Structure 1
Amino acid sequence: MYEFELQHWPCKPRKCMSRKTQKMYELEFQHWPCKPRKCMSRKTQKMYEVEFQHWPSKPRKCISLNFNIGRVNPENEAVKTLNTLQTNAEVLEKIRSQHGRSAHLKVPKMIEFSQRAGISLADIDSLKIIHVSGTKGKGSTCAFCESILLHHGYKTGFYSSPHLIEVRERIHINGQPLDRDRFTSYFWDVYNKLDKTKAEHENSMPGYFAFLTLMAFHVFLQEKVDVGIIEVGIGGQYDSTNLIQNPIACGVTSLGLDHTSLLGNTVDKIAWHKAGIFKPGVPAVTAPQPELAMNVLKERAKEIGCPLHTCPDIKEYDAQGREVQLGIKGEMQSVNASLALQLCHIWLGKVKRNHENGIAETISCRGDAEEMPKDYSFPLTEQMLQGLSACRWAGRNQTIKAKDVTYYLDGAHTIESIQQCVNWFREDAEEEKKVLRKRILKVLIFNLTGNRDSYTLLKPLKTCDFDLVVFCPNIASQGANIADQTKVAVSFENQMKRCLLNKEAWDRLYDLEQHGDQESLLNVATDGSSQVVSNPAPAKKARIDVTNGQQENTSAVTDKDDKQENQIPNAAINGHSSSFFSSENCNNQSQTFNQAIEKLVPVSHCLPSISHALSLASQGKTLLTAELNELPELPSHFKSVDHVQILITGSIHLVGGALRIIHEIPEDGSETD
């Protein structure tokens, strides 16, 4: 900030400062201080403590690059201009209320925009595109394709959405996000052409996603990539990417219910949209689908005139005695990897290269969906195996290990992906617990956006037995104006309302467990007797692991057969034989049944930012912006744990904001899986 804004350290604000820096001066300092002042916010004081150690009279070498967050730079200006193309809340609501009645105009409009940007349809087709739609696993499938073709020696371009931390992540060249300088240069290339021609076209400009789609095509053409790997945004039929006329291959990943207000509320309606990327004579491959969805895909393939087949199980490929290892974790990744292998196999055959590696000629494309084999396995080349194992896709089943804290991040936001996230987290967290042999606190940080059903998606997460659950909006930190993560369509107030709804849904899960499915919790003895209490829901194990990784004693309370009446003696709850609580919290022998049940329900809170959520979750074990004294008080025994496991899920934007903060935490010895 000193270098960019001030040139030398000022005693008062200077005209050369950006508006943001002057605003900080006005809000925080009243006049420019020589030492930290009480009037500063805690955030600014924390910045002082972290960056300066003591308040400097001149800038110090120890000032980190993070202090430059508000500086004026060309990339930031480009991103701010890009953000002006976002659809505001009023327009977005109007679009939703129309239920997609004008959606058919999107692709013709995209063709017009591409012509204004100097990009012809023939130019786009020259990119030899692999086009991928679907509900779950689009990004992972494309990432596998990128890695496989990179290992075959091709120059790759990969367009995906949304981004995690910076918008330039959406456009990859050779497996790496476009660097800042090239992003800025290419942005203005496209933006200026569209801006200069808008007067002739009723001042129309493409929206945020549409613009980035055009920019991706422009980048790939300028960079002269061998292959363009394009992930569909929403749907397929009316998606901005569907101006592609002649791709090399099309893929459909696993289908499920998502974006129902735009695509329909049944899987067959959604399948119709996803199959909209099929093109006459172009081979299409699908992941295994529910019967209704598969029937629609077949019908559309026949109607359009393209061959369609289902990718085989990953085990059916001939790995020639080698083990198939995937670089992305998660049980569904084997399906995504198989789909990617099929698409790359078609692409490699179609472009008639790499015959020395044993790649067969491309399968025939006579436009009849029924002529395609249902399974199509083939020997895997060394490059394919290397591509699968080397593939990385951040924010999906990702683990980051730091001192005393492990972060588990997954952008799951459908019922199927949440379930696989739960399976992955439970398995990996349990493995870590066995290795660490420490007392562990399990925390969930969750957010859900759009019209998705909180109750349905939170229900599988209940089985993870969290000690603490934190709901927060997709805002990295309060007051931070991060251009790459600005969303103009959603106000802070509405985001917090959604967080409260998510918390209410979570609390309702436990209300139903304790009261909903049982006749009553009956009267509980308060004198410490061993009276039997009938009809509570089955009690679970202790929330905080105090067994140091050993097998927990669950003999005191067990789940009975559904036909039997559940009975929990008060003595078992209050006595030292119970595994529910640490001895510190079980000394009171007259503790009532309801008090015990309350301790089985994880503590839950709504907080205003991801930074606050991570601060509360980590219990002071990491240095974060939000101070612990700004946060709600937690039970004292939470502070005695040795290690914290934090699962962050429900929204890819939440995961992205968390990654931004986690990467800035000054930790030694961090590693990412």
Structure 2
Amino acid sequence: MTSRSYRDAIDTLNSLQSNAAALDLVRATGGRSSAFAIPEMIEYLGIIGYKAPDLNALNVIHITGTKGKGSTSAFTDSILREAHPEWKIGLYTSPHLIAVRERIRINGKPISEEDFSRFFFETRLETTPDKPGYFRFLTLVAYHAFLSLKVDATILEVGVGGTHDSTNIVPRPVVTGITALGIDHVNVLGKTLAEIAWHKGGIFKEGVPALTVEQPLEGLDASEFKVVSTTPELSEIPLGLAGKHQAQNAALAVHLAQTFLQAKDGSTADAAAVAQGLKNARWPGRCQTVEDPVYTNTTWYLDGAHTLESLQCSVEWFVAPGVGLRTKTGKPHRRVMIFNCTSGRSGAAFLGAIHSHIGTQLKAFASEETVDSFFDHIVFCTKYLTSLAIPEADLTQLKTQHQLADAWSELIPTFPKANIHVLPSIQHAVNLVRQFDRADGDHTAVLVTGSLHLVGGVIEVADLSFSL
């Protein structure tokens, strides 16, 4: 069984119900299917040889929220590794950028292909008649991997929600935390902030410390927890993750790590360990700057923002001096945005938000530039790496991409039509940027946003060399 390959594991995973399909089922049943999620996960856990109380040995820091939970998890992981370099620390997150094994990390590094396939097939879940869906399967593999490797601590990021999430079967985590609640999730899910906070707060357990950041009052009224805030000391530390919104995530991570250490052995991380942990934190594809290793006139600005609020953070990061904003003393450069959004989301609203926030940022920096001419080229492509992978119907129509192009033209009627590009694949988009690089000596700043799938695809196709 364990001699089966990583490719075999991936093929099996890809045959399972996706997380998107699971969410569609929840919506279609009015949420009734969620009621079975936890009992079913506990049943699957029994199939692989564990009981729920066994998971307490993982020493879990459980993190949920509608934005920033991945970054907070990365900060927390980095702080603990700096404070206790002798420990073995597990980190479980989602989604991945390129390789699924990125979701299961030990001491900051994805587990190897060999270890992934070994732990995957040791569960024997692929032999069960009623196989768990994609996310459930991976969560169970992560539990098995971390228990087998005897980790000292586990940072566990919730997939969706909290109460009914597949990660929420740990009877007693060491500490729990909620990152910022997003108003855009209220609009998409049709729920109030209080309802969302109640579901997120489903990870809280009696007698377990519960932390959160400052939230809208409606969200805070939904449960009881300790609210943490940033401190002057933190503002002086250069964070490893870019964007001013990361200050809140870093503050929560510090409190989560310190609360964990206090509960674990009565210790705390000293100021030097905290500072170094925050500086060393890495979270690929989130407000990340990558210089092209071959086409040296190109800089990639990668951010998988896919909600209205995260797109605002993305624009605040990119439209700033030293990033995408032109300065009088800096070298001239063209600006390109490559954009894609998940099917079913309101692309026009997303583009409108980007346009609006660019204007706000330009005013904030007293820039003489105009929002309508901020980008020189706009690229709308599919999520597929190459056109060979695109279903025939999508390839011939590119309906979503043309809708996005029309929406951009409506936003900015004066934007040159020749500079709005509808392309069938990520490879086509990267090729276009390469053409710019070869055409003249100007620098090209490329913002890639709207989808983590898009960001991961650009990393792979453009062969951007950095450690995941």
TM superposition score category, shorter chain reference: 0.7 to 0.9
With over 3 angstroms needed to count, the CA separation of the structure-2 counterparts of 1:90 and 1:171, relative to structure 1, is closer
1:348 has 2:261 as partner:
yes
Shift of 1:247: 0.4
2:165 maps to what in 1? 239
1:642 maps to what in 2? 442
State how far apart, in whole Å, the 1-side matches of 2:216 and 2:342 are. 26
Shift of 1:391: 0.7
User: Unmatched 5+ residue regions in structure 2?
Assistant: 359-370
**Structure 2: which amino acid aligns with 1:646?**
V
Where do residues 557-572 of structure 1 align in structure 2 (5 Å cutoff)? none
State how far apart, in whole Å, the 2-side matches of 1:491 and 1:350 are. 56
With over 3 angstroms needed to count, the CA separation of the structure-2 counterparts of 1:610 and 1:224, relative to structure 1, is same
Correspondence for 1:467 among 360, 368, 376: 376
1:336 has 2:249 as partner:
yes
**Structure 2: which amino acid aligns with 1:346?**
T
**Structure 2: which amino acid aligns with 1:506?**
W
State how far apart, in whole Å, the 1-side matches of 2:227 and 2:139 are. 28
State how far apart, in whole Å, the 2-side matches of 1:671 and 1:119 are. 37
1:425 maps to what in 2? 318
Deviations 1:380-403 (A, max 9, x none): 521111111111110011011120
Deviations 1:94-135 (A, max 9, x none): 443223221111111100001101122121111110000001
2:431 maps to what in 1? 615
Tell whether the 8 Å contact from 1:236 to 1:277 is kept in structure 2 after alignment: yes
**Structure 2: which amino acid aligns with 1:314?**
T
With over 3 angstroms needed to count, the CA separation of the structure-2 counterparts of 1:416 and 1:234, relative to structure 1, is same
Where do residues 78-117 of structure 1 align in structure 2 (5 Å cutoff)? 78-87=9-18, 93-117=24-48
1:398 has 2:288 as partner:
yes
2:301 maps to what in 1? 408
1:209 maps to what in 2? 135
With over 3 angstroms needed to count, the CA separation of the structure-2 counterparts of 1:251 and 1:435, relative to structure 1, is farther
1:139 has 2:70 as partner:
yes
1:279 maps to what in 2? 205
Shift of 1:652: 1.0
Shift of 1:166: 0.3
Tell whether the 8 Å contact from 2:25 to 2:33 is kept in structure 1 after alignment: no
Give secondary structure in 1 for the equivalent of 2:412.
Answer: helix
Deviations 1:56-96 (A, max 9, x none): xxxxxxxxxxxxxxxxx921121111111134987764443
**Structure 1: which amino acid aligns with 2:14?**
N
Tell whether the 8 Å contact from 1:99 to 1:262 is kept in structure 2 after alignment: no
**Structure 2: which amino acid aligns with 1:650?**
G
State how far apart, in whole Å, the 2-side matches of 1:619 and 1:236 are. 46
State how far apart, in whole Å, the 1-side matches of 2:13 and 2:466 are. 33
User: Unmatched 5+ residue regions in structure 1?
Assistant: 1-72, 302-307, 360-378, 482-487, 512-596, 623-638, 665-669
TM-score by length of structure 2 reads 0.87
Correspondence for 2:230 among 301, 313, 325: 313
State how far apart, in whole Å, the 2-side matches of 1:491 and 1:271 are. 40
State how far apart, in whole Å, the 2-side matches of 1:455 and 1:213 are. 34
With over 3 angstroms needed to count, the CA separation of the structure-2 counterparts of 1:91 and 1:119, relative to structure 1, is closer
Correspondence for 2:178 among 240, 244, 252: 252
**Structure 2: which amino acid aligns with 1:662?**
A
State how far apart, in whole Å, the 2-side matches of 1:330 and 1:292 are. 26
Shift of 1:416: 1.7
Give secondary structure in 2 for the equivalent of 1:334.
Answer: helix
Deviations 1:417-436 (A, max 9, x none): 11111111111334675565
2:107 maps to what in 1? 174
With over 3 angstroms needed to count, the CA separation of the structure-2 counterparts of 1:283 and 1:424, relative to structure 1, is same
Shift of 1:324: 1.7
TM-score by length of structure 1 reads 0.62
Shift of 1:295: 1.4
With over 3 angstroms needed to count, the CA separation of the structure-2 counterparts of 1:275 and 1:195, relative to structure 1, is same
Tell whether the 8 Å contact from 1:442 to 1:645 is kept in structure 2 after alignment: yes
2:408 maps to what in 1? 506
Where do residues 575-654 of structure 1 align in structure 2 (5 Å cutoff)? 597-599=414-416, 603-619=419-435, 621=437, 639-640=439-440, 642-654=442-454
With over 3 angstroms needed to count, the CA separation of the structure-2 counterparts of 1:492 and 1:250, relative to structure 1, is farther
Tell whether the 8 Å contact from 1:468 to 1:617 is kept in structure 2 after alignment: no
**Structure 2: which amino acid aligns with 1:294?**
L
- Identity, in percent, stands at 41
**Structure 1: which amino acid aligns with 2:425?**
S
Give secondary structure in 1 for the equivalent of 2:437.
Answer: coil
Tell whether the 8 Å contact from 2:381 to 2:429 is kept in structure 1 after alignment: yes
Shift of 1:502: 2.5
Give secondary structure in 2 for the equivalent of 1:140.
Answer: helix
2:463 maps to what in 1? 663
State which structure, 1 or 2, has the greater radius of gyration over its C-alpha atoms.
1
State how far apart, in whole Å, the 2-side matches of 1:610 and 1:672 are. 21
Between 1:79-88 and 1:100-109, the stretch displaced more is 79-88
Correspondence for 1:125 among 45, 56, 79: 56
State how far apart, in whole Å, the 1-side matches of 2:393 and 2:134 are. 18
Tell whether the 8 Å contact from 1:399 to 1:407 is kept in structure 2 after alignment: yes
1:325 maps to what in 2? 238
Tell whether the 8 Å contact from 2:184 to 2:309 is kept in structure 1 after alignment: no
State how far apart, in whole Å, the 2-side matches of 1:598 and 1:502 are. 14
With over 3 angstroms needed to count, the CA separation of the structure-2 counterparts of 1:166 and 1:432, relative to structure 1, is farther
Give secondary structure in 2 for the equivalent of 1:619.
Answer: helix
**Structure 2: which amino acid aligns with 1:226?**
D
Shift of 1:288: 1.1
Correspondence for 1:223 among 149, 154, 166: 149
Where do residues 355-366 of structure 1 align in structure 2 (5 Å cutoff)? 355=267, 359=268
2:366 maps to what in 1? none
1:188 has 2:121 as partner:
yes
With over 3 angstroms needed to count, the CA separation of the structure-2 counterparts of 1:641 and 1:509, relative to structure 1, is farther
With over 3 angstroms needed to count, the CA separation of the structure-2 counterparts of 1:252 and 1:90, relative to structure 1, is closer
With over 3 angstroms needed to count, the CA separation of the structure-2 counterparts of 1:273 and 1:433, relative to structure 1, is same
With over 3 angstroms needed to count, the CA separation of the structure-2 counterparts of 1:432 and 1:348, relative to structure 1, is farther
**Structure 2: which amino acid aligns with 1:332?**
H
Tell whether the 8 Å contact from 1:249 to 1:282 is kept in structure 2 after alignment: yes
1:382 has 2:262 as partner:
no
**Structure 2: which amino acid aligns with 1:386?**
Q
State how far apart, in whole Å, the 2-side matches of 1:227 and 1:93 are. 33
